Structure 1
Amino acid sequence: MTPEIEKRIKAVRAGRVPAGYKRTKVGIVPKDWGEVRFHDMFSRVVRKNKEGNTNVLTISAQYGLINQNEFFNKTVASDDKSNYYLMKKGEFAYNKSYSNGYPFGALKRLDFYDKGIVSPLYICFAASENNQCPDFYVHYFEAGLMNKEIQAFAQEGARNHGLLNISVDDFFNSNLLNPPLSEQKKIAEILATQDRVIELKEKLIAEKQNQKKYLSQILLTGKKRVGDYKDPWEYSALSNYLTIKDVRQIPNDEAPLMAFIAGIGVSPKGERYDRSFLVKNDKKEYKRTDLNDFIYSSNNLDVGSIGLNSYGSASISVVYEIFSVNSNAVPVVLSSIIQLPENLNYALRFRQGAIYGQYRIYAEDFLSMKIKIPSLPEQKAIADVLSAADEEILLMQKDLEQEKLKKKSLMQLLLTGLVRVNE
């Protein structure tokens, strides 16, 4: 980046207008950039689902408009979908619900399907004939450059039910930046190229994760042995490797209140899982867990609420069963073997309770379960192989995050005109 560009960026961020720039309602932008109303570039789509389309879409941060079943593994739409808006490929939708990363809702284009339907709570729109580079606005919306406009007319009080109260008229009267068409196309192509880099790296990571999954399967079942180990694996009760841990305490700085999330493990509660405001007793005790403890939830074991604590000291709900791993087992290997499908299915046989969602698998029953497990030296050798694969994936993920940060930086510089494509 040249000293001249750095000086310009510093001036704009300080609220000063550098040479060749002007102040607009949207911000300080190049003099040859236009400022238009949303309705000048887009027209509303109010096409009702009269054809009985069942491809119900939702907005995802990563995938944009995607089928609800693919994203949630279920459909949360009403039975009667005739009132839903029917969208065609290339059209856009605005979801007024605020969410993590989208404080003023998300605007996404339909790219993956020829047609789909969305809730009538969405605002749908299509590029007008005079908008000759809608690709530019795909990135413009992704960068959150509409947030300031939406914030100006959104009624904050409506947030109590998670939906911003935004009128259609206000939305279509909002302001948009409109660079010269040639510059829009160049910006869109630069950002699309960066998207392709990100997509390629995501595919490589997915391939590597599948390879690791296959490697885990053959190593953790003994189908492939590491090194020169040839001793047969023995069936042994989990009680030989796990010890029940039931330490109660009030959450503190050393062991804060956390959630145990399926497929993730011990993690900060976040908005979705935080129910602490419902607890009136600030002296309530929770179970303490520490690094490499093994944890499971009786109710949600079959959907992944089981595994190691890889976070550290924390306090979690008393509904979880917690175990410390004995010194004759490698935690990550033991945990992975327990979570093999055949072992999880066997563990589910111990469920007790007549009402779905209120099942209980007693710790004593769980510990009676027998698993096939190698000797401690072979466990360590397996752990080394899998750890090397994890390290490779971690490095690839860090590289991917750098590319995403690069895309974010490019959007902030190019889509606001702080850096011109011909510089």
Structure 2
Amino acid sequence: MIDGWREVLLGDIAEIDLQNLGSKTKPDFEFEYISLSNVEPGRIVGPLEKCKFADAPSRARRIVGEGDILISTVRPNLLGFARVGSDHRKCIASTGFAVVKLNKSFEESYIFHLLFTHQLRAQFHALVVGSNYPAINSNDVKKLRIVAPPLFEQRKIAKILSTWDQAIEVVEELISNSQAQKKALMQQLFFGEERVFGESWSEVSIGELGEISGAGVDKKTKADEKSVRLLNYLDVLNKDYIFDKDLDHWVTAPDRQIASCDIQKGDIFFTPSSETRSDIAHSAVATENICGSVYSYHVVRLRLHELWDLNFSAYAFKSPHFFRQAYQLCEGSGQRYVLSQRYFRQMTVHVPSIQTQRTIGIILRTMDEEIAKFKAIATVLHQEKKALMQQLLTGNRRVKMESTK
């Protein structure tokens, strides 16, 4: 043990789940509810659901206060941990969280950062490994082993790490603002056509635009077939462009499928099914002829009859109007939703002249490149902070303390 540091159990330095709403709570008591889905690693994300106790989910019971730490006890390996700030001090959290209220001999920010270290993650992993359901309970949280220096050193370490948090927060705010600006601009470009460009756009059905094919290749490998790379569902979902260098899943296919399921520059691929409606009809465009590759039966290919600007193709099917059609037309039972080719052919998009396509494509591609630069900076900051945390929170690197004289 490092000189001056000590190991304690979290339950010895904190109250866990100190306050909960009881059965005698007034039915009209109103609050904002923090569900498991509202917590991402390091933060609470909204919007939060507003509830009255009588109508609230049965899990809405944990009373939280400013400075508390929320630890998701359901799939803790996903790091659903967050601090409660002034904005959320009067909220009610799910019983899927352990609510940690530290005593004054420990720095809340220090303990919070400690949750993301290898040492604590290993403890969470040991608690859920081998279980049928990856969850822990409040008693498990109380038994977490915490190693910490004296309080004044905790505060110094927390201050250093908070500086990194502030830098990350600034960059992520830039990303969020840029994405919101892009979304608003897309709405104006695709549905304010005459005001922006002074020309009428044609509303065209997908079936009129080109050849649609969903008879793709499976993921099997057979000795008597040729090896090819496979364009998968995840190569399309939440992507704009498909690049040759990104395809690395090898399968085999017969010659007839290699010929019919090829990938040519300008081909647009869509996701026809998903567990959620919101993931239906996402699209990405092939930026080049990708030799020796085929597409999976989990995606649909649209090969246009006419030449479109490549960048415009990447964005033309991402408007709220297009996704709204997919949301309404897909069919399913709640476990799986599917957009049939019959309905897919009926969906429509608005198409301008090739000159306007090029203008819109350049504008949106430029905005995406700016967002990508911000994301790259955020990634570097996260990596550097993670490395610094591992050094500071284990004592491998000690902070300089001011003289007490």
Please indicate the TM-score interval, normalised by the length of the shorter structure. Answer: 0.7 to 0.9
- Selected match of 1:414 from 387, 392, 399: 392
Aligned match of 1:94: 71
Please, which runs of 5 or more residues in structure 1 have no aligned partner? Answer: 1-23, 25-29, 268-284
Aligned match of 2:90: 115
- Selected match of 1:57 from 28, 31, 34: 34
Q: Post-superposition shift, 1:342?
A: 4.0
Q: Does 1:36 align with 2:8?
A: yes
1:163-242 alignment to 2 at 5 Å?
163-164=135-136, 168=139, 171-221=141-191, 222-223=193-194, 232-242=200-210
Aligned residues: 360
For residues 84 and 356 of structure 2, the distance between their equivalents in structure 1, rounded to whole angstroms, comes to 50
CA contact (8 A) 1:98 1:163 kept: yes
Q: Does 1:377 align with 2:355?
A: yes
Q: Post-superposition shift, 1:120?
A: 3.7
Q: What TM-score does the superposition give when structure 1 sets the normalisation length?
A: 0.69
Q: Does 1:401 align with 2:379?
A: yes
Q: Post-superposition shift, 1:179?
A: 0.8
For residues 51 and 213 of structure 2, the distance between their equivalents in structure 1, rounded to whole angstroms, comes to 36
Q: Post-superposition shift, 1:115?
A: 2.7
Aligned match of 1:254: 229
Aligned match of 2:20: 48
CA contact (8 A) 1:302 1:344 kept: no
- Selected match of 1:128 from 81, 91, 103: 103
After superposition, the CA RMSD in angstroms is 4.1
Aligned match of 2:303: 324
For residues 343 and 55 of structure 1, the distance between their equivalents in structure 2, rounded to whole angstroms, comes to 32
Q: Does 1:315 align with 2:296?
A: yes
Structure 1 pair 49–406 and aligned structure 2 pair: CA distance change class (3 A):
same
For residues 59 and 326 of structure 2, the distance between their equivalents in structure 1, rounded to whole angstroms, comes to 44
For residues 305 and 125 of structure 1, the distance between their equivalents in structure 2, rounded to whole angstroms, comes to 39
Structure 1 pair 308–120 and aligned structure 2 pair: CA distance change class (3 A):
closer
Q: What whole-Å deviation, never above 9, does each CA across 1:14-47 have from its counterpart, x for those lacking one?
A: xxxxxxxxxx4xxxxx322222332332123332
**Aligned to 1:162, what secondary structure does the other structure show?**
coil
For residues 363 and 167 of structure 2, the distance between their equivalents in structure 1, rounded to whole angstroms, comes to 29
Q: What whole-Å deviation, never above 9, does each CA across 1:166-213 have from its counterpart, x for those lacking one?
A: 571x54344311212221111111111111111111111222222222
For residues 186 and 354 of structure 1, the distance between their equivalents in structure 2, rounded to whole angstroms, comes to 54
**Aligned to 2:115, what secondary structure does the other structure show?**
helix
Q: Post-superposition shift, 1:379?
A: 1.4
Amino acid at match of 1:323: L
Structure 1 pair 309–290 and aligned structure 2 pair: CA distance change class (3 A):
farther
CA contact (8 A) 2:164 2:385 kept: yes
Structure 1 pair 84–379 and aligned structure 2 pair: CA distance change class (3 A):
same
Q: What whole-Å deviation, never above 9, does each CA across 1:312-365 have from its counterpart, x for those lacking one?
A: 854243xx654223442235424633443445556778x497978888765355
Deviates more, 1:335-344 or 1:410-419: 335-344
Aligned match of 1:21: none
Q: Post-superposition shift, 1:389?
A: 1.6
Structure 1 pair 289–394 and aligned structure 2 pair: CA distance change class (3 A):
farther
Q: Does 1:156 align with 2:129?
A: yes
For residues 358 and 125 of structure 1, the distance between their equivalents in structure 2, rounded to whole angstroms, comes to 37
For residues 365 and 60 of structure 2, the distance between their equivalents in structure 1, rounded to whole angstroms, comes to 52
1:243-322 alignment to 2 at 5 Å?
243-251=211-219, 254-255=229-230, 258-259=233-234, 263=238, 290=263, 292-297=267-272, 303-309=278-284, 313-317=294-298, 321-322=300-301
For residues 301 and 90 of structure 1, the distance between their equivalents in structure 2, rounded to whole angstroms, comes to 35
For residues 337 and 396 of structure 2, the distance between their equivalents in structure 1, rounded to whole angstroms, comes to 58
